[in-house]
Homo-oligomer: A and B are copies of this chain.
């Protein structure tokens, strides 16, 4: 008999899920489209059918212990997704309540995707022995999960850890949140694309990125161009890391973490983003914090970090006393 939880990672395009035990072994995983479903109930029915199918494929008996969900704008306290800008479903969606109807009798718990990634890092990843750390997800936007004294910081309303929306520049770039100059408009897959286009406009030097449209340009292309020595791409990583590092120095002044983990699309550029980020953070740190805070790549694979994080959330909810 295997004890396992379902980890569900709801993204704007796909929903990934996996059947995962306490040690982080994933018995099976798959995905469905998120964006194909205009109605949340239809989506959930289809997701449940798929999960049932996946469960049947696992050899031996699986005892389901709980369900963990990571989702954009997910609220841990209320079990809801609230006003998600990148999903088809509008308003406040009572996700936990609706999933409980399919899985009665086991805990169902939800948080935002970056918080789930932080819990994944704590339970299965590079933060296993840490009590104070931060995970920064560098996807389309910038998400963050802050852990203090071994506990995820949810804040009084369940929405803490929105570092993507600290201010970089007073009248800076337009942000999807309706304001200007937010960190994620500079530091994210989309942010570095904007930076490349700014430098293409300002500089006259040659770049392989001059032949690519804004819509076609991806963080992966910028990474590969930088690895080939493209000067515009390299300057864009330098600029991105400098801004991220300066803002992380302010974040360290808040919670003084042992390490900051980077995860997601831009983190795949490895040293290209790590090096300027660490350098800029050190330059901007208050002296008492210098040479103390590690900046690391997440130990979770980018491919399934969301699923592992959601699973870890469920296992954490089940508590240490159920540990065997």
The CA-CA distance from A179 to B154 in the complex, in Å, is 32
Report A84 CB to chain B, min CB distance, Å.
11
Given contacts A148-B148, A149-B153, A153-B149, contact A254 B160 (CB under 8 A): yes
The CA-CA distance from A73 to B132 in the complex, in Å, is 20
Check B82 against A288 for contact (C-beta < 8 Å): yes
Check A163 against B253 for contact (C-beta < 8 Å): yes
Check B163 against A254 for contact (C-beta < 8 Å): yes
Report A240 CB to chain B, min CB distance, Å.
17
Check B155 against A257 for contact (C-beta < 8 Å): yes
Check A258 against B156 for contact (C-beta < 8 Å): yes
Check B286 against A179 for contact (C-beta < 8 Å): yes
Check A287 against B151 for contact (C-beta < 8 Å): no
**A283's closest neighbor in chain B, by CB?**
B179
Q: Is A284 an interface residue (CB 8 A)?
A: yes
The CA-CA distance from A99 to B255 in the complex, in Å, is 28
Check A155 against B256 for contact (C-beta < 8 Å): yes
Check A130 against B159 for contact (C-beta < 8 Å): no
The CA-CA distance from A77 to B46 in the complex, in Å, is 52
Number of copies of this kind of chain in the complex:
2
Check B289 against A159 for contact (C-beta < 8 Å): yes
Q: Is A192 an interface residue (CB 8 A)?
A: no
Q: Is A131 an interface residue (CB 8 A)?
A: yes
The CA-CA distance from A179 to B282 in the complex, in Å, is 12
**A151's closest neighbor in chain B, by CB?**
B149
| List of B residues within 8 angstroms of A288 by Cβ | 73, 82-83, 157, 159, 162
Pick the interface stretch among A3-11, A116-124, A209-217, A244-252. Answer: A244-252
The CA-CA distance from A160 to B246 in the complex, in Å, is 17
Q: Which of B167, B249, B287, B289 contacts A284 (CB 8 A)?
A: B167
Given contacts A249-B167, A284-B167, contact A254 B256 (CB under 8 A): no
**A83's closest neighbor in chain B, by CB?**
B288
The CA-CA distance from A66 to B144 in the complex, in Å, is 39
| List of B residues within 8 angstroms of A153 by Cβ | 148-149, 254-256
Q: Is A104 an interface residue (CB 8 A)?
A: no
A127-151 toward B: CB 8 Å interface, digit per residue (1/0)? 0001110000000000000101101
| List of B residues within 8 angstroms of A251 by Cβ | 254
The CA-CA distance from A177 to B254 in the complex, in Å, is 16
Q: Which of B73, B256, B287 contacts A154 (CB 8 A)?
A: B256
Given contacts A167-B246, A249-B167, A292-B157, contact A286 B254 (CB under 8 A): no
| List of B residues within 8 angstroms of A82 by Cβ | 288
CB-CB nearest 10 A-B residue pairs:
A155-B256, A160-B256, A156-B258, A166-B250, A132-B156, A162-B253, A165-B286, A254-B254, A160-B255, A148-B148
> 13 A-B Cβ contacts within 8 A?
A73-B288, A149-B151, A149-B154, A155-B256, A156-B256, A157-B256, A157-B289, A157-B292, A159-B256, A159-B288, A162-B288, A254-B255, A255-B255
